[in-house]
Amino acid sequence: MSIRVYVPRDTTALSLGADTVARRLEREAAARGYPITLVRNGSRGLSWLEPLVEVDTPIGRFAYGPVAPSDVTALLDSGLLEGSVSHPLALGPTEDIDYLARQQRLTFARIGITDPLSIDDYRAHNGFCGLESALQREPQDIVEEVKASGLRGRGGAAFPTGIKWQTVLDTPADQKYIVCNADEGDSGTFADRLAMECDPYMLIEGMAIAGLAVEATQGYIYLRSEYPLAKQVLDEAIARTEQAGYLGDNLCGSGRTFHLEVRLGAGAYICGEETSLLESLEGKRGLVRFKPPLPAIEGLFGRPTVVNNVLSLAAVPFILAEGAEAYANHGMGRSRGTLALQLAGNVKRGGLVELAFGTTLRTLMEEFGGGTRTGKPLRAVQVGGPLCAYLPESQWDMPLDYETFAEVGAGVGHGGVVMFDDSVDMAEQARFSMEFCKVESCGKCTPCRIGSTRGVEVIDRIRANDNREANLTLLHDLCETMVDGSLCAMGGMTPFPVQSALKHFPDDFQRAANGDRS
Amino acid sequence: MNHSQKWAPQAIQAEVDALKHKPGALLPILHALQDRLGFIPEAAVPIIADALHQSRAEVHGVISFYHHFRTTPPGRHVVQICRAEACQSVGARQLEAHAKARLGVDYHQTTPDREITLEAVYCLGNCACGPSIRVDDSIRGRVTPEAFDALVDELQTRPLEVMG
Asked if residue A242 and residue A260 are part of one domain, the reply reads yes
CB-based contact (8 Å) between A51 and chain B?
Answer: no
> Cα-Cα-Cα-Cα dihedral of B5, B6, B11, B13, to 10°?
50
Residue B84 falls in which region: left (phi positive, over 0), alpha (psi -120 to 50) or beta: beta
Could you give the C-alpha distances from B80 to A59, A68, A186, in angstroms and in order?
Answer: 44, 24, 17
pLDDT band at A409 (very low <50, low <70, confident <90, very high): confident
Q: Domain containing A43: what range?
A: 3-95
* CB–CB contact A285 B65 (8 Å): yes
Calculate helix-pair angle for A495-504, A468-485, nearest 10 degrees. Answer: 140
* CB–CB contact A418 B126 (8 Å): no
Asked if residue A212 and residue A163 are part of one domain, the reply reads yes
* CB–CB contact B89 A424 (8 Å): yes
A353 φ, ψ (degrees, to nearest 5): -130, 105
A102 domain residue, yes or no:
no
Angstroms from A222 CA to nearest CA on chain B? 11
* CB–CB contact B66 A419 (8 Å): no
pLDDT band at B157 (very low <50, low <70, confident <90, very high): confident
CA atoms within 13 A on the CB side of A79: 8
The three-state secondary structure class of A268 is coil
The three-state secondary structure class of A397 is coil
Asked if residue A504 and residue A462 are part of one domain, the reply reads yes
A79 φ, ψ (degrees, to nearest 5): 95, 35
For residue A151, give the amino acid letter: L
pLDDT tens readout for residues A274-294: 999 999 999 999 999 999 999
For chain A, state the CA radius of gyration: 24
CB-based contact (8 Å) between A243 and chain B?
Answer: no
Which is nearest to A376 in space by CA: B137, B132, B90, B85? B90
Asked if residue A285 and residue A241 are part of one domain, the reply reads yes
pLDDT reading at B44 higher than 50: yes
* CB–CB contact A16 B68 (8 Å): no
Asked if residue A318 and residue A359 are part of one domain, the reply reads no
The ipTM (two decimal places) reads: 0.96
Asked if residue A273 and residue A259 are part of one domain, the reply reads yes
* CB–CB contact B129 A228 (8 Å): no
Give the CATH number, domain containing residue A302: 3.40.50.11540
pLDDT tens readout for residues A82-97: 999 999 999 999 999 9
The side-by-side arrangement of strands in the sheet containing A351-356 is A351-356, A338-345, A416-421, A378-383, A390-391
Q: Among partner residues B25, B61, B126, which is closest to A190 by beta-carbon distance?
A: B126
A6, A13 Cβ separation under 8 angstroms = no
Q: Which residues of A touch B88 (CB under 8 A)?
A: 345, 429, 432
* CB–CB contact A286 B24 (8 Å): no
Give the CATH number, domain containing residue A343: 3.10.20.600
Q: Among partner residues A12, A14, A301, which is closest to B23 by beta-carbon distance?
A: A301
The set of residues, in sequence order, having a beta carbon less than 8 Å from that of A214 and lying 6+ positions away, is: A139, A143, A165, A168, A169, A176, A178, A304, A306
Using CA coordinates, name the residue in chain B closest to A374. B90
Give the CATH number, domain containing residue A482: 1.20.1440.230
* Residue A35: predicted pLDDT: 87
User: What is the average pLDDT value for chain A, to the nearest integer?
Assistant: 96
Which is nearest to B35 in space by CA: B11, B51, B53? B11
The three-state secondary structure class of A125 is coil
pLDDT tens readout for residues A473-500: 999 999 999 999 999 999 999 999 999 9
Angstroms from B6 CA to nearest CA on chain A? 24
Asked if residue A154 and residue A233 are part of one domain, the reply reads yes
A386, A436 Cβ separation under 8 angstroms = yes
How far is A446 from A478, CA to CA, in rounded Å? 12
Angstroms from B91 CA to nearest CA on chain A? 9
* CB–CB contact B127 A382 (8 Å): no
Asked if residue A359 and residue A394 are part of one domain, the reply reads yes
How far is A397 from B46, CA to CA, in rounded Å? 58
Domain extents in chain B: 9-65, 77-157
Q: How many residues does chain A have?
A: 518
Asked if residue A314 and residue A267 are part of one domain, the reply reads yes
Q: Residues of A numbered 398-437 whose beta carbons fall under 8 angstroms of chain B's beta carbons: which are they?
A: 416, 418-421, 424, 429, 432, 436
β-strand partners of A284: none
- Residue to mutate among B126, B132, B142, with most A CBs inside 10 A, is B126
Q: Is the peptide bond before A293 cis (omega within 30 degrees of 0)?
A: yes
Asked if residue A278 and residue A215 are part of one domain, the reply reads yes
pLDDT tens readout for residues A413-428: 999 999 999 999 999 9
pLDDT tens readout for residues A336-349: 999 999 999 999 99
DSSP A157: T
Buried b (16+ CB within 10 A) or exposed e, A32-42: eeeebebbbbb
pLDDT reading at B7 higher than 70: no
Asked if residue A272 and residue A177 are part of one domain, the reply reads yes
Cβ-based neighbour number of residue A292 at 10 Å: 9
User: Of A95, A127, A155, which marks where a domain is finished?
Assistant: A95
pLDDT tens readout for residues A121-179: 999 999 999 999 999 999 999 999 999 999 999 998 899 999 999 999 999 999 999 99
Asked if residue A408 and residue A460 are part of one domain, the reply reads no
How far is B121 from B123, CA to CA, in rounded Å? 6
Indicate the number of domains in chain A.
Answer: 4
B129, A47 Cβ separation under 8 angstroms = yes
The alpha carbon of B49 is separated from its chain's Cα centroid by a whole number of angstroms, namely 23
User: Of A421, A445, A461, which marks where a domain is finished?
Assistant: A421
* Residue B162: predicted pLDDT: 52
* CB–CB contact A185 B23 (8 Å): no
pLDDT band at B6 (very low <50, low <70, confident <90, very high): low
Q: Residues of A numbered 384-403 whose beta carbons fall under 8 angstroms of chain B's beta carbons: which are they?
A: 386
User: Of A400, A421, A442, which marks where a domain is finished?
Assistant: A421
Using CA coordinates, name the residue in chain A closest to B58. A284
* Residue A383: predicted pLDDT: 96
A109 domain residue, yes or no:
no
* Residue A516: predicted pLDDT: 54
pLDDT tens readout for residues A437-457: 999 999 999 999 999 999 999
For residue A78, give the amino acid letter: S
DSSP class per residue in A403-459:
HHHHHTT---TT-EEEEEETT--HHHHHHHHHHHHHHH--SSSHHHHHHHHHHHHHH
A106 domain residue, yes or no:
no
How far is A200 from A236, CA to CA, in rounded Å? 9
Cβ-based neighbour number of residue A233 at 10 Å: 23
Does domain B77-157 sit in CATH 3.40.50.1000? Answer: no
DSSP class per residue in A273-335:
SHHHHHHHHTTS--PPPPSSSPTTTS-GGGS-EEEEEHHHHHHHHHHHHH-HHHHHTSEETTE
A221 domain residue, yes or no:
yes
Using CA coordinates, name the residue in chain B closest to A379. B89
* CB–CB contact B69 A266 (8 Å): yes
Q: Which residues of B touch A12 (CB under 8 A)?
A: 126, 128-129, 141
Interface of B with A (CB under 8 A): 23-28, 30-31, 52, 61-62, 65-69, 84-90, 121-130, 132, 134, 137-142
How far is B73 from B108, CA to CA, in rounded Å? 11
